[in-house]
Amino acid sequence: MKVSKLLIALFAGALSLAAYAQQPIVIKFSHVVAADTPKGKAAEMFAKKAAELTKGRVKVEVYANSTLYKDKEEMEALQLGAVQMLAPSLAKFGPLGVKEFEVFDLPFIFSDYDALRKVTNGPVGKQLLTKLEPKGIRGLAYWDNGFKAFSANTPIKAPADLKGKKMRIQSSKVLEEQMRSLGSLPQVMAFSEVYQALQTGVVDGTENPISNLYTQKMHEVQKYLTLTQHGYLGYAVIVNKKFWDGLPADVRAQLDDAMEQATRYANQIAKVENDSALEAVKKSGKTIVYVPTKEERLAFKRALVPVHQKMESRVGKDVIQAVYKDTGFKPDSL
């Protein structure tokens, strides 16, 4: 009697262990932008590829639009292991203490995607990702968004037009200095709060690539948008290092493959997505889109390039010089 009870218990135990073993590994991937953005779409692509390549052993749950965490909280959540994967904008590594990442925020440092790619695909990009390791974070890839435009409720054609304006920025000392150089008042605010702050007049204006502006409906509460393309906004896909290192090696290799495919996709669609968001903004008729002349853009560049030197002691002269070398940066021409 006793023996048969023991056998039943053992059998039940084995069954539940088998069921447990079949549970997929869940990766929570949190981000703050809309699903219908370059980052949102690439996150979904990664989820799809991860399921395919691991044959269902991994389930990636994507949480868009700050549904799980806002900007600052998501980084803490990753470090604590409450989420496993994020793709924060590169600006967000400065407040984490890895200030070299703020090189990506320097105004006009990249003339286009190709110049940017030379850095992210080269030794500088790789080296920067390794600086995240002591924070318990592994950097897997760089994903593009695009080049930023200024928006406000008054026309913006010259640096002086932003004087005295309260401008929302991400938490970045470089972006603070950028706004101060224009005589405006930088206001650090979580991305999820920007629409309301613009609507209620808590801030006067902001900067973002068009895909972010459009999908958050900021164009509905900003009368003027100027395509200054004065700075770059992109992402690093990161994971909790302990979680990642603890994955079975075969699963990790399949996920690396999925990430490679999602990264290719992300960097292919970013420009297209921003271009179509711009068309949609124009079509809405809610914002007047202004394309600055070459001279006007150059005036912004001249006003903003001194930020590089001002921020040298924070960002690091060597990293700035290494980026200049990769991109052939020229301070006084476009």
Smallest gap from residue 274 Cβ to ligand LMR (A): 12
Structure tokens at 148: 């930023």
CA distance 264 to 47: 14
Q: What share of the chain is helix, strand, coil (3-state, %, to 5)?
A: 55, 15, 30
Question: CB-wise, 151 or 170, nearer to ligand LMR?
Answer: 170
Smallest gap from residue 155 Cβ to ligand LMR (A): 22
CA distance 282 to 274: 12
Question: Which residue lies nearest ligand LMR, judged by its C-beta?
Answer: 89
Q: Give the residue among 154, 142, 159, 38 at the shortest CA–CA distance from 108.
A: 159
Question: CB-wise, 53 or 85, nearer to ligand LMR?
Answer: 85
Smallest gap from residue 32 Cβ to ligand LMR (A): 5
Smallest gap from residue 199 Cβ to ligand LMR (A): 16
68, 77 in Cβ contact below 8 A? yes
CA distance 210 to 149: 7
Question: CB-wise, 33 or 315, nearer to ligand LMR?
Answer: 33
207, 137 in Cβ contact below 8 A? no
Question: CB-wise, 158 or 188, nearer to ligand LMR?
Answer: 188
Question: CB-wise, 84 or 208, nearer to ligand LMR?
Answer: 208
Smallest gap from residue 30 Cβ to ligand LMR (A): 11
Smallest gap from residue 247 Cβ to ligand LMR (A): 26
Q: Which three-class secondary structure state does DSSP give residue 53?
A: helix
CA distance 232 to 106: 8
Question: CB-wise, 170 or 222, nearer to ligand LMR?
Answer: 170
Residue located via tokens 């052939």: 328
Smallest gap from residue 103 Cβ to ligand LMR (A): 16
Question: CB-wise, 101 or 191, nearer to ligand LMR?
Answer: 191
Question: CB-wise, 212 or 263, nearer to ligand LMR?
Answer: 212
Structure tokens at 296: 């006007």
Question: CB-wise, 37 or 54, nearer to ligand LMR?
Answer: 37
Q: What single-letter DSSP state applies at residue 223?
A: S
Q: Give the residue among 174, 162, 160, 168 at the shortest CA–CA distance from 310.
A: 174
Q: Give the residue among 315, 328, 322, 305 at the shortest CA–CA distance from 115.
A: 328
86 dihedral zone (left: phi>0; alpha: psi -120 to 50; beta): beta
Smallest gap from residue 215 Cβ to ligand LMR (A): 10
Residue located via tokens 């262990």: 17
Smallest gap from residue 175 Cβ to ligand LMR (A): 10
Would you say the C-alpha torsion 39, 232, 131, 78 has a positive or negative sign? Answer: negative
User: Residue 311, Cα to own-chain centre: how many angstroms?
Assistant: 21
Give the containing element (helix H, strand E) for 315.
Answer: helix 312-315
What is the binding site for ligand LMR (CB under 6 A)?
32-33, 71, 89, 145, 170, 191, 208, 212
